[in-house]
Amino acid sequence: MSINKTYFGASGLTSTSASYLANLAQEQVKANESLLEHLHFDKEVKSLLSQGVEYVTRESNVDSLKSIDNILRENSRYYWFIAWVKSAIKEKEKAANSLPSFSNWVEGKLPEPPQEKDRVYEENIIAEFEPSKLARYYRLQQFAAVFGKMIHDRGSIAIARKTAYSYQNNPTTLDKLDNDVILTRHELKFTIEQIDEMYNELQAYRREFDKQLNQIKFEILDEVNRRNKDLDLEYQKEYEQWRSLRDQLRNDYNIWYRDAKEEISLWKIVIPEELQDTMKYLQSLGKVQK
């Protein structure tokens, strides 16, 4: 935003003094305009015919026709003075308001704030496994899943075991079919002890697979947490450095902004040579410091 500095110089009026004089000029304008609004060129005389006495009820308020031209010229100069002062003050205000904000002033001085680091996940650690360790991890994972699925309470092996127990206790069943009866007998191929032994071995295998798999999962999770903690610490360090720089720059900006605004406030309003007489007359109406 460009500022017109034509109004300002090393010596002149302060904004306060200029505003005061402009107000005085406005008062003079009002007084003159009041006269012109009630302008009349005649003397009004009234008489009582019965008494033959005349009374002057109004005098012309113009001493000479030339004075009208003088009043108009005087008001024009006052308005000229007011327009000059108001424009100058407006430019000062515009200069003060156009000072850059911190975000604009700091551009190029302050880098973008650091971004939080990408998180590390389990798959990132697994991707770093040596081939043999990766193969072992998938082996344990799949073996534990397969064994666990089958010997679970609802798994087919667990159900077959429970069925065997049932048949041991009740090997035969009777079912009615029309006018006949069907007898069904179940003969166990293996003893309950053999089935339990097999089932317990499978459970032991599954527990061992789970144990080894959980150990690897624990190592993975521990590594994930350790790396993310290091990343958090790194981010915090970078952010604290950035914030420290930002706070220092904000302090520098506040000092600069205060000084810049103070400098603008000290700009003196120069009154053109053509308005010097008007200014001096207005100054004579009241005590005004330059």
Tens of pLDDT, residues 32-43: 887 777 666 666
- Measured CA angle at 16 (ends 10, 279), to 5 deg: 70
The residue count of the chain comes to 290
Q: Are 43 and 58 in contact (CB under 8 A)?
A: yes
Mean model confidence pLDDT for the chain: 89
Distance from C-alpha of 229 to C-alpha of 243, rounded to nearest angstrom:
21
pLDDT of 232 reads 96
Tens of pLDDT, residues 222-235: 999 999 999 999 99
pLDDT of 149 reads 92
pLDDT at 290 over 50: no
Residue type, 237: K
Q: Where are the domains of the chain?
A: 5-100+272-285, 122-212
* pLDDT band at 57; cut points 50, 70, 90: low
Cα–chain-centroid distance for residue 162? Answer: 66
CATH top-level class for 122-212?
mainly alpha
* pLDDT band at 56; cut points 50, 70, 90: low
Residues 6+ apart with CB under 8 A from 60: 40, 41, 42, 43
pLDDT of 31 reads 87
Tens of pLDDT, residues 92-134: 999 999 999 999 999 999 999 999 999 999 999 999 999 999 9
pLDDT at 63 over 90: no
Q: Are 54 and 46 in contact (CB under 8 A)?
A: yes
Distance from C-alpha of 92 to C-alpha of 9, rounded to nearest angstrom:
12
pLDDT at 196 over 80: yes
Lowest mean pLDDT among 63-72, 121-130, 144-153, 193-202: 63-72
pLDDT of 223 reads 97
pLDDT at 155 over 70: yes
Q: Percentage of the chain surpassing pLDDT 70? A: 91
What average pLDDT does range 163-183 have in this prediction? 89
11 φ/ψ angles, rounded to the nearest 5 degrees:
-130, 150
188 CB neighbour count, 10 Å cutoff:
14
